[in-house]
Amino acid sequence: MKKALIKRLLAGILAVVMVMGMVGCASSGESSETSNLSAGKTSEGSTSSGKTYNVVFIAKALSDPFSTWLSTSIEKIAKEKYPNIKVSTIDGQNAVDKQIAAMETAVSQKPDCIILQMVDSVAMVDPVNAAREAGIQTVMVNGAIDDNGANSTVDSNPEEQGKLMAAKAAELLPKNANIVIMDGPAGNWHSNGRRAGVKAALLDVRSDVKVLAEKEANWNKDEGMALMEDWLQTFPKIDAVISMNDNMSLGALEAVKASGKTEGFTAYGVDGLADACLSIDAGELTASVVQDGYAQAEAALKIANDIVTGANTQVQLIDVPAVLITKDNVSEWLQKHKDNGFIK
């Protein structure tokens, strides 16, 4: 079913977001107000004439750096481009029951639209359908649900992300390299897609590369570090770690640095987070693939604006292209993160 979701997203693309840069506009300087939504916050645009529309963003987990990137970007873009939209954010806390409750809370507030970064593609089908029955459309961002194309969706192709990362590894790894692989949560759509890309662009083309071990580190830096510590004690020689996100690779690098086994070691991840870019710039992380949180937020908010204003009520499926980040182009992405306040 996860592969079917990817095929649906790609096959049904009606528009492609080619926004490769995060617009470096100055902050409006307005502070966020606390809303009456549980575990949430409100960001409202400056003076606006006419009707104000309420949009609720339900994040997967605001403790996750990528969710924070999405949330911050949605609030920033609303202030700068859509002063008619008031955004309220609720934290899904990376738990299905919490996110279902968040959807119920949002629906009870009767917003004009919901933007959802889902925790689980199956569990969130019924809550999204319930919102629709209440007359509220949901825009999916950073993941699709199994809805047969009923809801607009903004995402990046995870298999392409995995291929970009893996192709760089295939280029740089020495002959007969020993690698370890860190996956996201079992069954996760993005993790599975990226892993398929790793197989296609590295393991299927470099038969000499040996996978010593592979295990889930659940997108978590601390789990990535602990897992790498175990593997360093188990295997005398590890040449690289391939991780399905940046956080796990950054955790693995902490363990490698502590062990003193950094010579010749390379590390790869996905997301293009500010911390990953800083690590690449420092010569530690070898490469990351941008999952552009700003561009995803921009596309999702535009769709939400189309819905609430009636400009376009058709289902829109948006694929935000992936970009490989290495030492050769990291300065560009560091500047974008600085412009958007993620690097001080």
pLDDT of residue 82: 97
98: in domain: yes
- Show Cβ contacts of residue 278 under 8 Å, excluding neighbours closer than 6 positions: 334, 343
pLDDT of residue 148: 81
My answer on whether 49 and 111 are in the same domain is: yes
Residue 271: half-sphere exposure toward Cβ, Cα within 13 Å: 30
325: in domain: no
My answer on whether 284 and 263 are in the same domain is: yes
Mean pLDDT by 10 residues, the chain (344 residues): 45 38 32 33 47 97 92 96 97 95 97 96 94 97 88 96 99 99 92 98 99 97 98 98 98 98 98 97 98 96 97 94 98 93 88
Summarised one tens digit per residue, pLDDT across range 120-163 is: 889 999 999 999 999 999 999 999 988 888 899 999 999 999 99
Domain hosting residue 239, numbered range: 158-290
My answer on whether 252 and 208 are in the same domain is: yes
- Show Cβ contacts of residue 81 under 8 Å, excluding neighbours closer than 6 positions: 301
Report the Cα 117 to chain-centroid distance in Å.
Answer: 9
333: in domain: no
State residue 301 phi and psi, 5-degree precision: -70, -35
pLDDT of residue 13: 40
Task: Give me the number of domains the chain comprises.
Answer: 2
- Show Cβ contacts of residue 20 under 8 Å, excluding neighbours closer than 6 positions: 292, 295, 321, 323
pLDDT of residue 187: 83
My answer on whether 151 and 162 are in the same domain is: no
216: in domain: yes
- Could you tell me which of 84, 152, 97 has the C-alpha nearest to residue 126? 97
pTM summary value:
0.81
pLDDT of residue 147: 85
Contact between residue 5 and residue 155 where contact means Cβ atoms under 8 Å apart:
no
51: in domain: yes
- Could you tell me which of 44, 89, 77, 111 has the C-alpha nearest to residue 307? 111
My answer on whether 252 and 276 are in the same domain is: yes
Q: Can you read off the two tokens belonging to residue 138?
A: 């949901």
34 three-state secondary structure = coil
Per DSSP, what are the bridge partners of residue 43?
Answer: 87
Give the CATH number, domain containing residue 271: 3.40.50.2300
- Could you tell me which of 179, 191, 169 has the C-alpha nearest to residue 271? 191
My answer on whether 245 and 300 are in the same domain is: no
311: in domain: yes
- C-alpha angle 75/125/305, rounded to 5°? 30
pLDDT of residue 40: 45
My answer on whether 128 and 225 are in the same domain is: no
pLDDT of residue 26: 29
- Could you tell me which of 312, 301, 310, 341 has the C-alpha nearest to residue 83? 301
pLDDT of residue 25: 31
Q: Which residue has the tokens 């996750």?
A: 64
My answer on whether 195 and 126 are in the same domain is: no
Buried b (16+ CB within 10 A) or exposed e, 98-135: bbbbbbebbbebebbbbbbbbbbbeebbebbeebbeee
252: in domain: yes
258: in domain: yes
CB count within 10 Å of CB 286 equals 22
pLDDT of residue 121: 86
pLDDT of residue 149: 81
My answer on whether 146 and 165 are in the same domain is: no
d(CA 257, CA 262): 6
Q: What radius of gyration, in Å, describes the C-alpha atoms of the chain?
A: 20
My answer on whether 276 and 187 are in the same domain is: yes
My answer on whether 283 and 219 are in the same domain is: yes
d(CA 333, CA 246): 15
My answer on whether 175 and 150 are in the same domain is: no
